[in-house]
């Protein structure tokens, strides 16, 4: 089975085609763009499909990074993945950025790992995983000052772009990453039962500007129109 993986949850605009039977990546591209995922994602996907030498109809699954991460980026990736799944009639599964980082870290060093990623607003997105890669508790947004107290005593590995300040004598891995590699998203998506639904761990930065709201129109009978 061939899986198309998409990750636009952080600074990267990434896609890859993964061959499950051969356990290898046929093609991948990761663009470190920061913003502008909507403008570039389709070009990136088209590029990996072409480089893999396949047609869209050959795909059997779509995997997508569902966050936590950038609100806009997550929405772009999830919407695209759902669209491909609907058009191709294939399943779509979600992978969190935290579990992808954990899997990449544990490929480098065995042991329990805590992933810590900058979440903005003075928060860190955190989740711990045991030595087998299974999550220990749910992902959470933690205030920066509270993060050291959240670390399990048994954790010897830290990963993610917010892990530097928490490391101490722990081994630090992938300190520059806010998401896992796109090939890891593909591998995890094959076995994932997670729905392709965005994982936001805090509210959106954008706020409705009430001053620009239009007044409700009055119906002819004097009641407010819906």
pLDDT tens digits along 88-138? 999 999 999 999 999 999 999 999 999 999 998 899 999 999 999 999 999
pLDDT recorded at residue 115: 97
Given this chain, do its domains 2-96+180-191 and 98-173 carry the same CATH topology? yes
pLDDT above 60: residue 165: yes
pLDDT above 60: residue 43: yes
Give the global pTM. 0.88
pLDDT tens digits along 202-222? 755 444 444 444 444 444 444
Q: Which of 114, 125, 194 is nearest to 158 (CA)?
A: 114
pLDDT recorded at residue 224: 44
- With H, G, I as helix, E, B as strand and everything else as coil, classify residue 112: coil
> What's the number of CA atoms in the CB half-sphere (13 Å) around residue 169?
2
Structure tokens at 120: 């903005």
Domain regions of the chain by residue span: 2-96+180-191, 98-173
DSSP secondary structure, 171-211, as one string: EEE-TT-SS--HHHHHHHHHH----S----SS--S----GG
CATH superfamily of 98-173: ATPase, nucleotide binding domain (3.30.420.40)
Q: What would the CATH number be for the domain defined by 2-96+180-191?
A: 3.30.420.40
């Amino acid at each position: 089975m061939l899986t198309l993986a998409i990750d636009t949850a952080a600074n990267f605009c990434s896609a890859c085609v993964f061959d499950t039977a051969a356990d290898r990546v046929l093609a991948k591209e990761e663009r470190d763009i920061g913003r502008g995922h909507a403008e570039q994602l389709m070009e990136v996907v088209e590029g990996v499909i072409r480089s893999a030498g396949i047609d869209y109809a050959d795909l059997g699954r779509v995997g997508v990074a569902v966050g936590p991460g950038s609100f806009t980026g997550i929405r772009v990736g999830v919407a695209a993945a759902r669209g491909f799944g609907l058009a191709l009639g294939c399943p779509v599964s979600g992978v969190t950025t935290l579990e992808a980082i954990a899997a990449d870290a544990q490929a480098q060093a065995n042991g329990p790992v805590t992933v810590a990623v900058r979440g903005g607003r003075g928060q860190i997105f955190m989740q711990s995983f045991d030595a087998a890669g299974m999550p220990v508790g749910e992902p959470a947004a933690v205030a920066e000052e509270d993060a050291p107290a959240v670390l399990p005593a048994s954790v010897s590995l830290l990963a993610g772009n917010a892990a530097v300040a928490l490391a101490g004598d722990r081994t630090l891995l992938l300190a520059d990453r806010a998401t896992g590699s796109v090939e890891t998203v593909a591998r995890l998506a094959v076995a994932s039962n997670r729905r392709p639904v965005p994982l936001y761990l805090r509210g959106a930065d954008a706020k409705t500007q009430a001053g620009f709201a239009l007044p409700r129109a009055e119906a002819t009978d004097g009641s407010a129109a819906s």
